[in-house]
Amino acid sequence: MNLREVEVKITTLIKKRSEASERLARLKEIADPYDPKNIMEINGLKQAVETLSSDIQRLEVERGNLLDAEEAARKEYTAALAVYDGLIARLPNGEKEAAEIVKRHAKTTEAAERARSILIEKINTLNAITGGMTYIPGSTGNAWKEFAREYEYEIVRRT
């Protein structure tokens, strides 16, 4: 049983014990104390209250044990997370590397964009003359996406 289940069970048992105690108090005040039927009901309610109290105490002990286990697990989790974060921080920064790669190839990218715009202009002229459709090459953005996909594949394959 986990901590949440134990707490829900404790709350439910406390509510039941409270209801039984209230019924017992009302029965003692209102009913004839010498009537055998009332005596049996009072004894049954007393027994129910005692049983519920012992169950609540047992669950409180279990809850305490689970809280101790949770605290230990949280400490272990925090330590493992710190180790993981430290190792992840040692990996290269993709954003920084991507910015450097883009800067390094900026002139080539600009030249490719200019050449593509000229090519599209020529394709449009050709299409206007022939009335046909000619293949329009992808933009440099598509080339960068393809590079990123291949780069990711290589990294995943090597790890």
CA distance 155 to 63: 46
Count of other CB atoms within 10 angstroms of residue 56 = 19
pLDDT at 134 over 90: no
In the chain, % of residues over pLDDT 90: 28
pLDDT on residue 81: 87
3-state secondary structure of 50: helix
pLDDT tens digits for range 25-45 = 888 887 677 778 888 888 999
- Average pLDDT score over residue span 55-75: 92
CA distance 30 to 142: 86
pLDDT at 115 over 80: yes
Residue among 113, 121, 115, 123 nearest 144 (CA): 113
**Would you put residue 35 in left (φ > 0), alpha (ψ -120 to 50) or beta?**
beta
pLDDT on residue 92: 67
